[in-house]
């Protein structure tokens, strides 16, 4: 029996040793089926728009339209997410640095995991326990989160082979509410209410999508009314944009009341009595001053006054709204977060809700604002004055119409004519409407434009600084 058992025992011992050896050896890595975010690159892009006073208003007299531009590189060759947040030049490097500070909380994540748990990434950024002290959920840190999250949504849409608006439209109501943070707004809008609203609008989605593809979303222009433009230039530009089919025009006010009165006459005469005229004071006035000045400008029949006072003064906006009705109050382009929008809506302080694609934390927070505005019956008229903003808001305006509001009453989206040539799939505003985006993703700046206008070592800035003899200033 011993002779028979010996070989069997030896074989068992050898098998045991082999098993231990196999367990000790590192497991062979299976091919990675997921798309990993490998790196986060940030570029400081600045365009010298102050040369021609494009974008000038009562507060920002010589802006250089700029953006902190985020590129998420992935494990899939050629697949990148691009996102930006807008600024006016100096200080752009601060936002860029903040974007880099968030990189460790993004790099290494898998896109497929983000797609089914957007709030996981959203909270990792917005509620990062040390960086949130710089906000929380406001200012530079929130704008940096917005740039990164814009890049993430761009990446998701590209992976799906769809423009962002179509990617979001194709999500189910159940999927959409999982992309939204309802914290701090549940007293106005709960997750259950949002789901019910989205489900109620679902039957008309296909028809509204077809309408947008066919007709586009109504646009207005600010490009004829910058504060630094002469009366002659305003008249000429008004005629140019009327010929292009636009019927809504916005002008800047707030620097000097006598000039505002004169320019209002020029603008109203140029566009005629039947087209809409809007005014934008860019936060210049005190509450009482805004009320008094708008009464003096009422002769021009303005549809709204935008940012009449401090953007954080909800009660001030409400007082102005009561005093100047039926002229509407519009604001939102620098509203810090969804809570500010919630309070503006609760206080009946605005007739027009102006979302901005780069001020808050990406499309997730925008969706929350759109749903609150729809529940409160307030028209959404997106802001789009800066570089890349037109390219972004065409997606958001169409998402709002197709999925959420279902109406075009009093809806119009800002457009400007500057800097579109620097983007793949630049905006098409023709016949008075934004046409649908067709390229997969959200928006992407051309590589040659980034190389030319990156500050301070892009070719344009090297040449400009050498010519002026100045040193590069942040």
Q: Kindly state the tokens that stand for 344.
A: 């503006």
CB atoms within 10 A of CB 199: 13
The residues facing 44 across adjacent strands are: 68
Q: Contacts from 135-139 at CB under 8 Å and sequence distance 24+?
A: 137/336, 137/337, 137/339, 137/361, 138/336, 138/337, 139/336
**Alpha helices for 102-138 (secondary structure H):** 111-116, 118-126
The residues facing 221 across adjacent strands are: 249, 415
Q: Kindly state the tokens that stand for 173.
A: 């109501």
**Alpha helices for 377-471 (secondary structure H):** 389-399, 447-453, 459-468
Q: What stretch of H or E contains 295? A: helix 287-297
d(CA 149, CA 131): 16
Angstrom distances, CA of residue 365 to CA of 19, 178, 337: 53, 12, 8
Tell how far CA 217 is from the center of its chain. Answer: 17
d(CA 3, CA 317): 98
Beta strands 276-280 and 429-430 are unpaired
Active-site option among 158, 383, 395, 418: 383
Q: Are 203 and 173 in contact (CB under 8 A)?
A: no
Q: Kindly state the tokens that stand for 111.
A: 């896109």
The residues facing 430 across adjacent strands are: 433
> End-to-end alpha-carbon separation of the chain, Å?
89
CB atoms within 10 A of CB 423: 19
d(CA 135, CA 155): 26
Active-site option among 166, 250, 252, 422: 252
Largest CA distance in the chain: 116
Q: Go through 158-186 and write b for each residue having 16 or more CB atoms within 10 A of its CB, e for each that does not.
A: bbeebbbbbbbbeeebeebbbbbbbeebe
Q: Give the three-class secondary structure for 129.
A: coil
Q: Is 471 left (phi over 0), alpha (psi -120 to 50) or beta?
A: beta
248 catalytic per annotation: no
Burial class (CB in 10 A: 0-12, 13-18, 19+), 97: middle
142 catalytic per annotation: no
Would you name the residues annotated as active-site residues? Answer: 252, 383
């Amino acid at each position: 029996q011993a002779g028979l058992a010996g070989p069997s025992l030896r074989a068992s011992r050898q098998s045991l040793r082999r098993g231990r050896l196999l367990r000790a050896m590192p497991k062979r890595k299976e091919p990675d089926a997921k798309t990993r975010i490998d790196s986060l690159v940030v570029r400081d892009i600045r365009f010298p728009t102050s040369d021609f006073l494009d974008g000038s208003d009562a507060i920002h007299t010589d802006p250089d339209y700029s953006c902190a531009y985020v590129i998420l590189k992935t494990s899939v060759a050629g697949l990148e997410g691009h996102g930006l947040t807008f600024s006016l030049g100096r200080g752009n490097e601060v936002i860029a640095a903040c974007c880099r500070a968030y990189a460790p909380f993004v790099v290494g994540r898998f896109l497929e995991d983000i797609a089914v748990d957007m709030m996981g990434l959203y909270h990792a950024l917005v509620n990062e326990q040390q960086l949130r002290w710089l906000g929380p959920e406001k200012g530079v840190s929130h704008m940096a989160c917005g740039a990164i999250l814009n890049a993430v949504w761009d990446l998701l849409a590209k992976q799906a082979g769809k423009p962002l608006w179509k990617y979001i439209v194709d999500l189910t109501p159940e999927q959409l509410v999982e992309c939204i943070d309802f914290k701090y707004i549940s007293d106005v809008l709960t997750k259950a209410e949002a789901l019910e609203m989205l489900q109620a609008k679902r039957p008309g989605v296909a028809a509204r999508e077809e309408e947008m593809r066919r007709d586009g979303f109504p646009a207005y222009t600010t490009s004829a009314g910058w504060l630094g433009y002469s009366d002659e230039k305003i008249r000429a530009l008004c005629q140019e944009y009327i010929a292009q089919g636009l019927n809504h025009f916005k002008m800047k006010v707030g620097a000097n009341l006598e000039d505002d009165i004169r320019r209002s006459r020029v603008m109203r005469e140029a566009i005629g009595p039947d087209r809409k005229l809007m005014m934008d004071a860019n936060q210049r006035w005190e509450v009482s001053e805004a009320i008094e000045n708008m009464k003096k400008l009422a002769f021009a029949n303005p549809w709204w006054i935008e940012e009449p006072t401090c953007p954080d003064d909800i009660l001030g906006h409400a007082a102005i709204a009561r005093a100047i009705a039926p002229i509407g109050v519009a604001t939102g382009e620098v509203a810090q977060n969804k809570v500010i929008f919630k309070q503006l809506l609760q206080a009946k302080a605005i007739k027009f809700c102006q979302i901005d694609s780069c001020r808050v934390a990406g499309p997730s927070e925008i969706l929350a604002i759109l749903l609150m505005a729809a529940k409160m019956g307030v028209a959404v008229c997106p802001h789009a004055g800066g570089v890349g903003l037109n390219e972004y808001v065409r997606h958001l305006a169409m998402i709002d119409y197709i999925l959420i509001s279902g109406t075009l009453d009093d809806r119009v989206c800002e457009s400007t004519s500057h800097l579109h040539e620097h983007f793949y799939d630049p905006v098409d505003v023709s016949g008075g409407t934004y046409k649908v985006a067709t390229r997969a993703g959200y928006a992407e700046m051309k590589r040659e434009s980034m190389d030319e206008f990156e500050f301070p070592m892009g070719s344009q800035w090297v040449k400009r600084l050498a010519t002026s003899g100045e040193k590069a200033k942040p």
